[in-house]
Amino acid sequence: MQSGLGKSNKWILEYEINDPTKNPLMGWESSNDTYSELKLKFSTKELAINYAKKKKIDFEIIEPKKRRIVKKSYADNFLK
């Protein structure tokens, strides 16, 4: 089985949770900050950076890791 690359070329802007609290009834983590539910997707890194600067949002860039692709043949499953 192989992982696909579909929709993996987007840059995502996520807000951090400012004040996480524990729900006393269910024990779930909750917050009054509705920005924590918001995810903005951009087609390029530059667009995401420009948006954050325009809205005066502090940001941290996390570069995606390079994928290491090992090409295998189906027959290799039976040769070992």
pLDDT tens, residue by residue, 27-51 = 888 777 788 788 999 999 999 999 9
Name residue 47's amino acid: L
* Structure tokens, 18: 């400012």
Number of helices and strands in the chain (H, E): 2, 4
Longest dimension (CA), the chain: 58
Query: Is the pTM above the cut of 0.85?
Result: no
| Of 12, 33, 10, residue with least CA distance to 21 | 33
| pLDDT of amino acid 1 | 54
pLDDT class for 65, splitting at 50, 70, 90? confident
Q: Which residues pair with 40 in a beta bridge?
A: 13
